[in-house]
Amino acid sequence: MANLIKMTENIMYWQSVLVCWGDKYSNAQVNKLVDQIIKNDSNCIKCVLFTDTIRDGINPVVEQKIIPEFYLTAELTAVGCHAKLCMFEKGILDVSLPAIYIDLDTLVFGPLGQLLNELKSDKHLMMIPGRGNFRALRRLFAKNFGGRKFGRANSSAVVFHPVYWHSVSDSFRSKIKKGVKLEGEYMVADDRYLAWFAQQKLQVIPTSYIVKFGTEFVLPTAWMSRLKGRLPWVEKRRSRLLAITFPGNNFEPEKLAKLRDSMSLADHRKRPLIWDDGTIGVSKKKIQSYFEVS
């Protein structure tokens, strides 16, 4: 393990991984995220951006790598985001460093390297909780029923040691070559496939580190969100968050930062977001400060 992870006085160095294709995200957005990652954790000694084209204007500290052609088909870059699985290709990441992947629609407020301390072993992989989580019963179902039932997860953040996870891409490539369709329980999206494949070595990222904005702050009714925001242990946990991710198109963080106090929005399920200190807590100021011009 000493050769796999570079450590000095219990400091673990790591690499940041980002994936970008198309024109949804600007160079400025990528650079802002990279700046926040490095600013908050000096132990991040490498930043890798997988992209469909080399992008002029990206911070030179970022190592840009072209996404393998296999993953750049219209089918794999569509809504299922299967192209993100390119990060597991053999030889594409430095195997001497653990990796932390985050989506580009994530705001970083603290040292992401702390996530590495939560891995049970080098051979485990962590993702954001999803429906079903990873209860023992789910693992048992996955093991004994050919993966027809398994704990799901969200791939907005993934923590892993690249040297042990090349088989994710190998197996996915094999299924595509055999004509397996991108549908059903585990092939429909990148996070479903990854959770299914890694089920027996899968962990969830604790909500004391990273949360999905909608899941954390937007409950079925406004009073529930307000009540949750006022619970002392919730306030304490939120004050220590390392990052908040904003998957989907319901709430864009830059637009949220411009909202006036007590304004409300709704997601696609008509769940209300109340933009006030009582509901959002300290995270409200952090989101606003993220977009302030220094």
CA dihedral for 243, 249, 254, 258, sign (positive or negative): negative
Measure the CA–CA gap between 100 and 112, rounded to whole angstroms: 8
Measure the CA–CA gap between 154 and 133, rounded to whole angstroms: 10
Domains for the chain: give ranges and CATH numbers. Answer: 7-204 (3.90.550.10), 210-290 (no CATH)
User: What mean pLDDT do residues 53-69 have?
Assistant: 97
168: closest CA among 135, 195, 140, 147? 195
pLDDT in tens, 132-152: 555 555 555 555 555 556 788
User: What mean pLDDT do residues 86-104 have?
Assistant: 97
For the cut 60, the answer to whether the pLDDT of residue 5 exceeds it is no
Residue 264 Cα distances to 221, 226, 270, 279, 294, angstroms: 12, 12, 11, 11, 28
Q: How confident is the model at residue 7 (pLDDT cuts 50, 70, 90)?
A: very low
pLDDT in tens, 161-218: 999 999 999 999 999 999 999 998 899 999 999 999 999 899 999 999 999 999 999 9
